[in-house]
Amino acid sequence: MSSNRRIAIVLFNLGGPDSPAAVEPFLFNLFNDRNIIDLPGVLRWPLAKLISSRRAKAAGAIYAEMGGRSPILPNTERQAAALQASLGDLGEVKVFIAMRYWHPLTEETVAAVKRFAPDEVILLPLYPQFSTTTTESSDRVWRVAAKRQGLTAPRKLICCYPTEPGFIAGVAKVTAAAIARAKAKTKAPIFVIFSAHGLPKKIVDRGDPYVAQVSATVHAVVDTLGLAVPEWMVAFQSRVGPLEWVGPPTDHSIEEAASAGKAVVVVPIAFVSEHSETLVELDIEYRHLAEKRGAAAYERAPTVSEEPDFIAGLAQLVRTALQQPQRVQPGSGAQYCAAWPRCACQREEL
């Protein structure tokens, strides 16, 4: 590959408020996303204003537990720096960050990429498992912003990578370390709960492959670790509102394992960066729940963040994408979403 080639890599992530004042507008951006609330804009906008205003106080208290801001941007910046350093042999490579709901927002990042004037753009979601609520949403707003600003460089989207070897190796490493910490504290049976962010069941019923891909990730990690079937399960956290969500719920699963006197190890399986769902929901709220129910121990594996295996896996995804002609690159996910019509691999354009 030519050494003077200019390559822009854009990491997609959700973002998070960077101050107490940013909490409500962050929530508004989240609930005003049509991939989150599927209503016409004229109805979604006032509903998003209502929901964000009502939830701002409780959400603010959560972010106060983390110093008044989300750590997701500095975490993503470190991941970007590590990825950029690993790809220097490809030419002039620059890694950008596009957050979906707070700064740097997609419009800002498109402008920065346009100034860089790349020969090619690789869109790399920090969502290993594809969902219409994450990857599709981020890609959709990117396409709109790129067209509006006249960014015409060829682009490729890496759809998903639920079983990418570097990602799996990174998760297996942090899981094994968490299990070892639990074993050092107790001789009670260890029960591992792989926890992913939940989705309303109706989204999965429409053909979203997220749950199937989460399952593929977990099975790959379990195979790597050699865990016996009774020792682990998949569960889903962060459910809100009256809709039926996919299950089983993480908190209920923790209660059951803790009540049985087991040592609980919780592993974030769909998050690759630390944020409120890991640092508050898992570390504080669910730890308290486990201890209250009598768990022999409670350990939470960290996200893969800047684990070298994970960064190497991301780099390999980029290298492969640059060599392939398809606009939507399947990563390691194609075989896990062939039956799911909403997956990006099934459509040339989202």
User: Binding site for Fe(2+): residue ranges?
Assistant: 197, 277
C-alpha closest to that of 63 among 282, 280, 287: 280
For residues 289 and 24, what is the distance between their CA atoms, to the nearest angstrom?
28
Integer CA distances (angstroms), 254 to 193, 201, 285, 286, in order? 8, 21, 11, 8
**To which residue do tokens 């990174």 refer?**
170
**In this structure, how many other beta carbons lie within 10 angstroms of the beta carbon of residue 335?**
11
249: burial class by Cβ within 10 Å (0-12, 13-18, 19+)? middle
Quick check: 306 and 300 in contact, CB under 8 A? no
Quick check: 247 and 236 in contact, CB under 8 A? yes
Q: List Cβ neighbours of 102 (8 Å cut-off, separation of 6 or more).
A: 15, 16, 17, 18, 22, 25, 26, 29, 70
Binding residues: 197, 277
For residues 241 and 55, what is the distance between their CA atoms, to the nearest angstrom?
12
